[in-house]
Homo-oligomer: A and B are copies of this chain.
């Protein structure tokens, strides 16, 4: 049962967890989620993992140029997705959050359209893969410069505060992002104004090859909340329910006007930083293997199995169902076809200014002169 009083301590030395590695409920409060919700969370975890695997395959086939694998982050991402009001609250995710945008229901055709930069991409193929965004779902389109979305996220939260309707913003990022000046600038402004925003760090202890101890002297991320006068929570990011419950609490607090919070979710990325990376250069295989044993999907499955909510059959059904959805989505995204060359001149401003019109025209002439299409 949810109460108004905080259930989680900020600045705890150990990460908050609500289910054990073996799948037991270990929280000092009662589970208040119905079975369908729990199965829905599980589905989202598996969906995220399978999208990830599909993307890696598409990249190897040369169909997409870049992948930022999310495997190992699903617990954090799905926990966040279930803690917000979709379509009401705002999300400012980062490039590794494919599992998050899938979990809030961003249509898979668009998701793969973005990855393949076809006409199925609502962003018209303008950005690299792994840069989702949705006006309809209030998902601010991901940008590559690390932490550059943090001050804008705070602006949206300030706007929500002014509007006074109790809407909140959730802004996610990695551990490395916390070193950027823009991260500090944004989080500090939120603290000074008591903006309704939750900063959620998916701390996988590496920024590409740079480990956490080269990133900061603070040991962890939650402690940084002290600098801004807000509570900082450390959560076991491999425990999707812990992520969900902590997020639910801080989102509720922000909604009620109690101000921002920083949540550190201890996760791990199983794969390389991206399809362009070779992580064996900087981290031991044993470390990866040890974290894989703590898999968030396996953990929730154990929890569900203990409650007889899941089994091999359900698992098989789910996986083939999702695989079918992915097949369809990829096919639809591909079928949408490539972006038109001339769209490259659009959306710079609300209206096409004369100088861009001239540049477009001249480019057409040059193409024509060279016997190219157009």
Q: What is A's interface to B at a CB cutoff of 8 Å?
A: 179-185, 188-192, 194, 213-219, 223-224, 226-230, 259
Contacts and interface: CB of A to CB of B under 8 A. Distances in A.
A226 B228 contact: no
Nearest to A223: B226
A114 B192 CA distance: 37
A190 B216 CA distance: 9
A191 B217 contact: yes
B226 A218 contact: yes
A185 B192 contact: no
Number of copies of this protein chain within its complex: 2
Contacts of A224: 226-227
A214 B227 contact: no
A219 B229 contact: yes
A223 B218 CA distance: 13
A211 to B, nearest CB: 10
Given A191-B218, A226-B227, 11 more contacts: A180-B181, A181-B184, A183-B184, A192-B215, A194-B217, A216-B227, A218-B229, A219-B229, A223-B226, A223-B229, A227-B227
Contacts of A230: 217
A219 B185 CA distance: 16
Nearest to A228: B217
A126 to B, nearest CB: 27
Contacts of A217: 188, 190-192, 194, 228-230, 259
